[in-house]
Amino acid sequence: MPDKYRFLLFDDKREVELVWNGKTNEVTNVVLPFQTIEVVDEPRSEKIAKLQSSLFDAGGRQSGGWTNKLIWGDNKLILSSLKNGPLREQIEAEGGIKLIYIDPPFDVGADFSMEIQIGDETLTKSPSVIEELAYRDTWGKGADSFIAMVYERLSLMKDLLSDDGSIFVHCDYRVNSYLRLVLDEIFGSENYVNEISWKRANNKTTSNKLTIIHDSIFFYRKNKEKYSYHTLFHDYKEGYLETRYPYTDDDGRRYTLQAMYGKGQGSPALFGTELLSPPKGLHWRWNQERINRAMEDGIIVFPKGGAGMPRFKDYADTKDGISLQTIWNDIPDVNSQADERVDYPTQKPEKLYQRVLEIASEPGDLVADFFCGSGTLSAVAEKLNRKWIGSDIGKFSINTARKRMISVQRQLKAGNKSYRAFEILNLGKYERQHYIGEYIDKRLENAKQLEQQREQAFVQLITKAYQAEAVEGFRTFSAKKNARLVAIGPVNVPVGRLFVEEVIRECQEKQITKVDVLAFEFEMGMGDNARDEAKDKGIDLTLKHIPRDVFDKRAIEKNQVTFYDVSYIEVKPLVSGKTLAIELTDFSVHYNQDADIQLKPGQAKTIVRDGQVLKISKDKDTDIITQEILTKNWSDWVDYWSVDFDYESKQEIVRESCDDGSYEDVWTGNYIFENEWQSFRTKKDRNLELTSVAREMTPGKRYKVAIKVVDIFGCDTTKVIEVSL
State the DSSP string of 603-636: -EEEEEETTEEEEEEE-TTT--EEEEE---SGGG
Q: Which of 174, 212, 218 is nearest to 193 (CA)?
A: 218
Q: Binning pLDDT at 50, 70 and 90, where does residue 523 land?
A: confident
**Within-domain flag for 700:** yes
Among candidate residues 399, 427, 455, the one where a domain is terminated: 427
Question: Mean pLDDT in the chain?
Answer: 78
Q: Using DSSP bridges, classify how beta strands 540-545 and 514-519 pair: parallel, antiparallel or unpaired.
A: parallel
Q: Which of 472, 496, 431 is nearest to 486 (CA)?
A: 472
- Looking at residue 638, its pLDDT comes to 92
Residue 336 sits in the same domain as residue 266: no
Residue 158 sits in the same domain as residue 253: no
Among candidate residues 317, 339, 358, the one where a domain is terminated: 317
The tens digit of pLDDT for each residue in 139-175 reads: 556 777 788 889 999 999 999 999 999 999 999 888 8
Residue 307 sits in the same domain as residue 333: no
Cross-strand partners of 616? 605, 627
Phi and psi at 62, nearest 5°, equal: -65, 150
| % of the chain beyond a pLDDT of 90 | 34
State the DSSP string of 175-223: THHHHHHHHHHHH-GGGEEEEEEEE--S----SSSPPP-EEEEEEEES-
The tens digit of pLDDT for each residue in 333-377 reads: 888 777 888 777 778 999 999 999 999 999 999 999 999 999 999
Which range is least confidently modeled, 47-56, 313-322, 396-405, 545-554?
313-322
- Alpha carbon distance 213, 205 (integer Å): 9
**Within-domain flag for 442:** no
Tally of domains within the chain: 4
- Looking at residue 355, its pLDDT comes to 92
Residue 547 sits in the same domain as residue 584: no
Q: Using DSSP bridges, classify how beta strands 161-171 and 97-102 pair: parallel, antiparallel or unpaired.
A: parallel
**Within-domain flag for 14:** yes
- Looking at residue 196, its pLDDT comes to 95
- Looking at residue 434, its pLDDT comes to 44
Residue 212 sits in the same domain as residue 263: no
- Residue 270's domain comprises 243-317
**Within-domain flag for 436:** no
Residue 547 sits in the same domain as residue 574: no
- Looking at residue 309, its pLDDT comes to 46
- Looking at residue 332, its pLDDT comes to 83
Residues 6+ apart with CB under 8 A from 261: 236, 238, 239, 240, 241, 268, 309, 311
**Within-domain flag for 287:** yes
Kindly report the CATH number assigned to the domain that includes residue 547: 3.40.1350
**C-alpha dist (Å) from residue 51 to 39, 419, 578, 696, 699:** 18, 22, 10, 5, 11
- Looking at residue 47, its pLDDT comes to 62
Residues 6+ apart with CB under 8 A from 471: 477, 478, 479, 480, 485
Check: CB of residue 310 under 8 Å from CB of residue 302. yes
- Identify the residue with better confidence: 464 or 275: 464
The tens digit of pLDDT for each residue in 100-137 reads: 999 988 654 455 566 777 666 677 767 665 566 566 55
**Within-domain flag for 237:** no
- Looking at residue 337, its pLDDT comes to 76
Q: Is 66 exposed, middle or buried, given 0-12, 13-18 or 19+ CB atoms closer than 10 A?
A: middle
Among candidate residues 427, 455, 472, the one where a domain is terminated: 427
Check: CB of residue 35 under 8 Å from CB of residue 427. yes
**Within-domain flag for 438:** no
Residue 551 sits in the same domain as residue 575: no
Secondary structure letter of residue 696 according to DSSP: E
Residue 185 sits in the same domain as residue 71: yes
Cα Rg for the chain, rounded, in angstroms?
29
- Looking at residue 427, its pLDDT comes to 78
**Within-domain flag for 322:** no
Residue 137 sits in the same domain as residue 249: no
Q: Which of 499, 505, 473 is nearest to 487 (CA)?
A: 499
Interior angle at CA 576, CA 570 and CA 582, nearest 5:
25
Residue 67 sits in the same domain as residue 199: yes
Tell me the one-letter amino acid at 242.
E
Kindly report the CATH number assigned to the domain that includes residue 141: 3.40.50.150
Check: CB of residue 381 under 8 Å from CB of residue 355. no
- Identify the residue with better confidence: 213 or 9: 213
| % of the chain beyond a pLDDT of 70 | 71
- Find the mean pLDDT for residues 411-418: 86
Residue 575 sits in the same domain as residue 516: no
Residue 631 sits in the same domain as residue 619: yes
Residues 6+ apart with CB under 8 A from 519: 488, 489, 494, 495, 543, 544, 545, 546
The tens digit of pLDDT for each residue in 557-586 reads: 777 677 888 888 999 999 998 999 999 999
